[in-house]
Amino acid sequence: MHNILEVIMPPTDDVPAAIDTIMKPFYEGDSDNVHAFWDFYKIGGRFAGGKIQASLGSRLNEFTAELKRRKVTVSGLQWGKQELDPASQIPEVDALWREWFPDSGIDVCPLFQHSNRQLDDNSWLPKDICTVAEVPETYKADRVIVAWDGHDGVSAQEMLCVDIWNGVSWQDTTFSGLVHDAIAHCDERLKNAKPEYREKALPQKDWLCVTVDYHS
């Protein structure tokens, strides 16, 4: 199953390298790992453009209603995004997206699978990597990692997860999935911490929030 992970971390000039460092302790590809959660991960991936969608609010609902009015058809779910079928609809849908959301930062409609075809292994859509200040208040993820520099470099220091099937039973949690709730959780946990530790560990508005598609 593919899930949405948001990684919150201090600013860095090499986001992919930092993500690899943070994800490695939970990666099944590491033969010594007994705490693996995923066997695949990619910045953006199947959920590329998710924060763009969340930033559009009710206007996005109006847009999807317009697509239905125009009888736009899809073939089914493709791991989080639907495939326009027939593909001849793509130019019309993309043109409509540009008309409705000229300031979105993207020329193709991110709701559908074809938007991911422009991405290679080293690219992502706008806002897949953004600052904490740019994360929409309503944006949710299945899992949130908060990372900062420890003794061995940047690493996960906090991990929150929504209710999940753990392979045996349903695991209930109290996490809403809202990225900003994860930050509020950190704020509460650190309220009695020493100022120098709190300053290091509490996400700030200029910290990065990175969308990661992971498979578990």
Query: Which DSSP letter does residue 175 get?
Result: -
Top-confidence residue, 37 or 150: 37
Pairing verdict, β 40-43 and 208-215? antiparallel
Find out whether 72 and 89 touch, Cβ atoms under 8 Å: yes
What are the boundaries of each domain within the chain?
2-48+124-215, 57-118
Tens digits of per-residue pLDDT, 7-16?
A: 999 999 999 9
- pTM, full prediction: 0.89
pLDDT at 34 over 70: no
Tens digits of per-residue pLDDT, 54-109?
A: 999 999 999 999 999 999 999 865 556 889 999 999 999 999 999 999 999 889 99
Q: Which of 117, 76, 114, 80 is nearest to 94 (CA)?
A: 114
Long-range contacts of the stretch 61-67 (C-beta < 8 A, 24+): 63/96, 63/97, 63/100, 63/101, 64/111, 66/96, 66/100, 67/93, 67/96
Strand locations in the chain, DSSP E? 2-9, 40-43, 74-78, 81-84, 129-131, 143-150, 153-161, 164-165, 170-171, 208-215
Q: Which structure tokens are listed for 158?
A: 């906090």
On average, the pLDDT of the chain sits at: 90
Q: What is the pLDDT of residue 1?
A: 81
Lowest mean pLDDT among 74-78, 79-83, 127-131, 203-207: 74-78
Count of all residues that appear for the chain in the document: 216
- Taking the CA atoms of residue 69, residue 72, residue 78 and residue 80 in that order, the dihedral angle to the nearest 10 degrees is -30
d(CA 76, CA 194) in angstroms, rounded, equals 52
Q: Which structure tokens are listed for 174?
A: 């109290």
pLDDT at 145 over 90: yes
Tens digits of per-residue pLDDT, 153-163?
A: 789 999 999 98
Q: What is the pLDDT of residue 66?
A: 97
Q: Which of 45, 38, 51 is nearest to 16 (CA)?
A: 45
pLDDT at 31 over 70: no
Q: Which structure tokens are listed for 136?
A: 């929409």
Tens digits of per-residue pLDDT, 157-188?
A: 999 999 877 667 787 888 999 999 999 999 99
Q: Which structure tokens are listed for 111?
A: 């709701």
Lowest mean pLDDT among 121-130, 172-181, 193-202: 121-130
Q: What is the pLDDT of residue 79?
A: 57
d(CA 115, CA 94) in angstroms, rounded, equals 9
Task: Tell me which amino acid residue 65 is.
Answer: A
Peptide bond into 11 cis (omega under 30): no
Contacts of 168 (CB under 8 A, 6+ apart): none
